Amino acid sequence: MTNLPQALEALRCFGWGKGHLKNPEDGTLCAMGALNMAEFLNAESHLLIQEPATVPDAVADMNALAKVVDEQYPDRVVDYGSRALCVAWTKIAGFNNHEYTTFADVEKVFEKAIAARHEEVD
């Protein structure tokens, strides 16, 4: 099961931003902040609301987003090499925070990743 549609909806509802998972001043979310919210967190209490068994789904969602970023915006991928704790996370965050990335770009990545995840299930 994918939570990418919920993450995209969170971006549309709370607003999109750069540099914060969730901006403490205006509540906007970056791509990873929205994904984290949709996968694991209650927006108000920040408590875990998903079962641990959904972690593979969260990883698959993150990998789907990173794959689309690689395919659509390779010039905006930051290569942290072996220093990266999670390659998918750093790709998504680097893309989100890139100076040329717009919300339309982020929406496009989410929409393509949602389609890819639905194809996996079908």
pLDDT tens sequence across 26-75: 999 999 999 988 876 644 444 444 554 467 888 899 999 999 999 999 99
Residue 109 predicted with pLDDT over 90: yes
| Domain total of the chain | 1
C-alpha–C-alpha distance, residues 45 and 18, integer Å? 22
- Identify the domain containing residue 65 by its residue range: 4-121
Question: Phi, psi (5° rounding) for residue 31?
Answer: -55, -45
pLDDT tens sequence across 71-96: 999 999 876 665 555 788 889 999 99
- Give yes or no for a contact between 62 and 92, defined as CB atoms under 8 angstroms apart: yes
Residue 24 predicted with pLDDT over 80: yes
The per-residue DSSP string of 50-92 comes to S-GGGHHHHHHHHHHHHHHHHHH-GGG----GGG-S-HHHHHH
Closest C-alpha to 94, from 10, 122, 86, 14:
86
Query: What's the mean per-residue pLDDT of the chain?
Result: 85
The predicted structure's pLDDT at residue 78:
72
pTM: 0.84
